[in-house]
Structure 1
């Protein structure tokens, strides 16, 4: 009798066509599979160090309008920054990058710089006092940054010439001005000639410690004075009948002299940490005191003085928060940016 084929053989035989079918399907899938996309690496653009310098200087200028004074200081700042970074750049190349960032034509920026250089050279090369005086007046035609009356190079040239030409230069440069801001000039050793600025209402000035302030006593319309460099010798300013606001530094003697000012209402004062402020109690008409008194500890005299000043409810005291000691006071206060206010309204 014939025997039936085994089950195992039959199963294997049945699987063969299926295996072939699977192989065909896999091959078809492989044939239709898209090739893998090649990875592309994006290269970072190269940074132009000369352009980077220009933008860094621009940020430090806080987006000011491109006045002649800004243009001049921008180019100076660009060259100085490049030098500090060890980057060699000539003046013509610097002008190209500065003009680009300031949104100016290169020819316009060049005209400003070269015109200023010619006027400055005329001052330095003047052969006579009369020639120097005329050259200085021409140089002072442009205002400075931040509201200064003269561009910085011009203000410093005026300061340097003042000991020789002060009276005549004051008569021709300062007469008739109501606002005179010259802290960018640096310290004046003498103020002889400033008495000609009789119409000035607002004056900002830096002087040497031994400079005589007597000429300022003639400025009878002066209401606001910002004075840097003196710690005492203010007594002559008590003759100013309209001086209500004073920004200055002082030692104990200087504070005592301020008590003689007839109507001083606002005092912005800087004193060293070891200077007693007890003399401020003698300033009877004071309504606002802004005090920076150094990194002192809160001693009993300082605490008692501030408490006594605060008893006048109409007197606002503004103390520098970063100095620390105002926060130790037991008086109620509020915070304003950078300051502690006592008797705030």
Structure 2
């Protein structure tokens, strides 16, 4: 006879399927939860993925500007060597006013500098760039240069002394640079013609002039004909070392003389009663001759390092001495001479600072641009 299961067994048996169901339900729940977790996990990833393009987009903005910068760089104008050359020449002219003499020398300087730098340029292009820098019309600059070229051609082709004289007078109508009396080409032409035409040239060129600045003419070998400059008060002149200065003795109104090229032979200038200022070079013999000048007050003197300056003590009327005495050492004689010159309280001594020896003096001094001043007031 079949036996019924006990209640305890029944309960255990009944519980087994329930446990299985519960296990199955829990597993199902876990399985159901997993996709949700994955979805939740995917959300930040999605956000990150969404952010990445935005970050890339922001990062690409500077890169987008690069083509624009390159485009701007390409538009930058290149340096024009011909224009740059014109400005280089302009700097050498110390910003002078564009007088005819400056215009002519500027164009000549431009062409010479271009040749030195190996730059090929014709006259037409040179005139355009030079006119731009000088703030002139190109037509105005061309007219000046062409007129000057015609004067040179007339002088070169002169067939007689009278024709040459007229051509020289035409050349000398324009003033030169830095206040020179004649334009450079005209001044040099006068110097070359002087041995042949001096007396007549002097009469035609110098009559009535009170100022003559002729250093740009270069060294005159003879001054015969300078007697005509009887009204001149200020004379600047470059001569050869053996040039005779006797004709200058006729310039009785001359007060200031700037003489280049002579070291001695000044005795004849003692005849000039109004000569108070002299700028010159000198050796020991030349310094001794200066002592005979009646009223020499101002002396701008250049001497070599081996030239004794003791003779300066004989210039009794001297009140202002500017001395450039070469790269000498301060010997006892030089120091004693300067000290003796400084004893006269009204005498100002100006010594070139770059030469060094003036700074070794024990006398009180002050520095001025490029100079050492003794007995300053």
State the TM bucket, normalised to the shorter chain.
Answer: over 0.9
- The 2-side partners of 1:276 and 1:270 are apart by 12
| Alignment partner of 1:308 is 2:340 | yes
| Alignment partner of 1:144 is 2:176 | yes
- The 1-side partners of 2:376 and 2:120 are apart by 54
- The 2-side partners of 1:28 and 1:65 are apart by 72
CA separation of 1:249/1:16 partners in 2, compared to 1, >3 Å: closer, same or farther?
A: same
**Which residue of 2 is the match for residue 53 of structure 1?**
85
Query: Displacement of 1:122 after TM fit?
Result: 1.1
Runs in 1 of length 4+ with deviation above 4 angstroms?
A: 3-15
- The 2-side partners of 1:49 and 1:111 are apart by 25
- The 2-side partners of 1:15 and 1:258 are apart by 117
Structure 1 residues 27-79: Cα deviation after superposition (integer angstroms, max 9, x where no partner):
44345434432412324532111111100001111211110000001001101
Query: Displacement of 1:164 after TM fit?
Result: 0.5
Aligned residues: 345
**Which residue of 2 is the match for residue 175 of structure 1?**
207
* Selected match of 2:243 from 211, 215, 231: 211
| Alignment partner of 1:286 is 2:318 | yes
- The 2-side partners of 1:336 and 1:144 are apart by 31
Could you state the TM-score of these two structures normalised by the residue count of structure 1?
0.96
Ranges in structure 1 where 5+ consecutive residues have no aligned partner = none
Query: Displacement of 1:270 after TM fit?
Result: 0.4
**Which residue of 2 is the match for residue 192 of structure 1?**
224
**Which residue of 2 is the match for residue 339 of structure 1?**
371
Q: Could you say which structure has the higher helix fraction?
A: 2
- The 2-side partners of 1:316 and 1:7 are apart by 117
Structure 1 residues 160-199: Cα deviation after superposition (integer angstroms, max 9, x where no partner):
0100000010001001000110100000000011111111
| Alignment partner of 1:20 is 2:78 | no
**Which residue of 2 is the match for residue 233 of structure 1?**
265
| Alignment partner of 1:318 is 2:344 | no
Q: Secondary structure at the match of 1:188?
A: coil
Larger Rg: 2
RMSD: 1.9
Could you state the TM-score of these two structures normalised by the residue count of structure 2?
0.88
Query: Displacement of 1:7 after TM fit?
Result: 12
- The 1-side partners of 2:206 and 2:319 are apart by 31
* Selected match of 2:135 from 103, 122, 138: 103
Structure 1 residues 108-134: Cα deviation after superposition (integer angstroms, max 9, x where no partner):
111101101111121121111111111
